[in-house]
Chains A and B, each alone.
Chain A
Amino acid sequence: MSLLRLESVTLYAPGASGDPIVSDISFEIETDETLALVGQSGAGKTSLALAIMGLWSGKIDGNIFFMDQEMTSLNETAYQELRGRSLALLMQDPLAAINPTLTIGWQLREVLRLRRGLSRQAARKESLGWLKKVGLTPASDLARAYLHQLSGGMAQRAALAIAMACQPRLLIADEPFSALDPLTAASQIDIFKQHRSEIGFSTLLITHNLHLAKELASKVIILKSGKIVEAGRVSSVFTAPSEDYTTQLLAAGLKPGSSK
């Protein structure tokens, strides 16, 4: 059974009636599968991520199914139930995605208490566990840290811990490693892989980097100016790209994790 299925989704910018940002996008992600959405910046990848999260403020045509439930007609309260618990979002710039005025531990505990209904005690214990799991040790010190006391890599781990804390079925990772330097990115990729195999969740990986897609995903979709130009299994797209655009992307791609 497919976990997430998009059927000819078209997105329009909020307030504008012009050309759609992405048009006629269809794909599906199976349970425990990783799908990579690859394209240059401006191809509409992030818009798609927001649409799946129910955070897109513009008009949406087409259908989005999550666990066979139609999502575009869902009301805000129902969507809110799904966010965090079933769907999670890992944003591109970890230094912007964490609240700078609250400690890491506080933000983690907030999610655990409000979204998983844990008691104060249990949330405290579990939050330390998550910090350890993503390699933020000593956990009790880092729980008290503010964003400005963390490096980019540490902030990314913290963001991953907060996103994973409610054990979502699907993680949408939007350029998760591109704001990091190559070495940090490489270690983050290892952490990510390890989690995926330990916990087990599906991933929609959004990236401009084909080599990263090859390393993490089994299926890949190539997006150009809001349209799908090529889709298929990673192995086939890499060995025999059918489109010029894909070949160009392959040629331009550097090592995994290298930034734009």
Chain B
Amino acid sequence: MLAFGVRRILWVAPILIGVTLILFLLLHVLPGDQARILAGYRQPSDQAMINIKEKLNTEAPLYTQYKDYLISLGRGDLGTSFRNQRPVSSIIAESLPSSLALASFALFLELLIGISAGAWAAIRRDSFFDRMSMVSAAVLIAMPVFLLGLLLQLVFGVRLRWLPVSGLGDGGLNFYILPSLVLALVAAAYLARVTRSSLIDVLSSDYVQAARANGLSSSRVLFVHALKNALPPIVTVAGLHFGFLIGSAVATEVVFNWPGLGHRLFLAVLERDRPLIIGAALVLSTIFIFVNLLVDILNAWLNPLARVDGKQEGLEAKA
């Protein structure tokens, strides 16, 4: 188990190198004179251009620049925002917490709704509940998350006037409900599907039949024997869809005017603030990579076979 964990952590390193390389290329190399781009869209003075070029060392070979980029990343320096000349890292640091708060709340709702709906649908297979929840899941999966946001705003915020539809307000729980529900519901739809099919597989397996034949109660069979075996694909999908959750969060924060990193990213796109966009992409991709690492380790803990079988490692098993 320990060896597995170490192997998986080592496996993350080349991925991080690849991700930083791509972002470095996007930030420094691709089209146009990057000093001009970095100086912003105003007509920069010659002196300003020289200063920027010196600072970025643009005449140096590419690999030296990449090395410098990595070194500055190591120092926690993500560059400087065009717009207000503040460090990207401090802009991210001030907007990330409210996004994380929203995401954690959404993740909790996603797991609660997705797993319980999927499990109930599997147990009561072909019942009315099963059919209804699978139809809803199909519709939700086909729905852009911002559309769901607009619809919920319309129904709960405007027609029924139950919940606030914009911003974080005083930080009260009621401001979290709609945006986190939007984020959670679409992801929960995927989760409910995979929970249902995984649990149906497990419930029809011989060892579940055997556990019943030993006289164990049906709740014990379900929670101890079936659920543990059904969990690995569920955990995997939850992890993979974390990336989807991050992408959805951007649109959701825009719809609900949520003061988080996603909304900041949206403004940066409007302002063509490239360093901030690339910086945010780096932070969020890194979070995603580590979430997947966590998922693999969790799966190995749940399933003894995954620890031994190298084939099951990493993203390999998720294709």
Contact = CB atoms under 8 A, between A and B. Distances in A.
A229 to B, nearest CB: 28
B214 A88 contact: yes
A81 B303 CA distance: 31
Instruction: Bin the interface of chain A by size.
Output: 20 to 34
Given A84-B215, A110-B216, A101 B303 contact: yes
Interface string A56-90: 00000000000000000000100011111101110
Contacts of B216: 80, 84, 110-111, 114-115
A189 interface: no
B304 A148 contact: yes
A55 to B, nearest CB: 6
A101 B228 CA distance: 7
A93 interface: yes
Interface in B195-234: 205-207, 209-218, 220, 224-225, 228-229
Interface string A97-113: 11111100000001100
Contacts of B225: 99, 102
Nearest to B220: A114
A238 interface: no
Contact of B308 (A92, A99, A148): A148
A96 B206 CA distance: 6
B214 A98 contact: no
Contact of A101 (B211, B213, B304): B304
Interface in B111-159: none
Given A100-B207, A100-B229, A83 B215 contact: yes
A93 B228 CA distance: 21
A237 interface: no
A101 B214 contact: no
Contacts of A115: 214-216
Interface string B224-262: 110011000000000000000000000000000000000
A108 B214 CA distance: 10
A83 B206 contact: no
A23 to B, nearest CB: 24
Contacts of A146: 304-305
Contact of A93 (B206, B211, B212, B220): B206
Contacts of B209: 50, 55, 89, 91, 97
**Chain B interface category by residue count:** 20 to 34
B214 A96 contact: no
B21 interface: no
B302 interface: yes
> In terms of DSSP, what is the predominant structure of the interface of chain B?
helix
Given A101-B303, A148-B305, A55 B212 contact: yes
Contacts of B215: 80-85, 111, 114-115, 166
A124 B225 CA distance: 20
B107 to A, nearest CB: 24
Nearest to B126: A15
A114 B305 CA distance: 27
Nearest to A53: B213
A148 B304 CA distance: 8
A177 to B, nearest CB: 16
B212 A97 contact: no
A96 B212 contact: no
Given A114-B220, A148-B308, A97 B206 contact: yes
Given A100-B304, A100-B305, A146-B304, A163 B214 contact: yes
A232 B233 CA distance: 50
B211 A99 contact: yes
A98 B304 contact: no
A101 B308 CA distance: 13
A73 to B, nearest CB: 19
Contacts of B213: 53, 55, 83-84, 87-89, 91, 163
Nearest to A98: B207
B229 A101 contact: yes
B302 to A, nearest CB: 7
26 contacts: A53-B213, A76-B218, A80-B215, A82-B215, A83-B212, A83-B214, A84-B213, A84-B215, A84-B216, A88-B214, A91-B206, A93-B206, A96-B207, A97-B209, A97-B210, A99-B225, A100-B303, A101-B228, A102-B225, A102-B228, A111-B216, A115-B215, A115-B216, A148-B304, A162-B210, A163-B213
Given A81-B215, A99-B229, A148-B308, 7 more contacts: A85-B215, A96-B206, A100-B229, A146-B304, A146-B305, A162-B214, A166-B215
Q: Which 5 A-B pairs have the closest CB atoms?
A: A84-B215, A83-B215, A89-B213, A96-B206, A84-B214
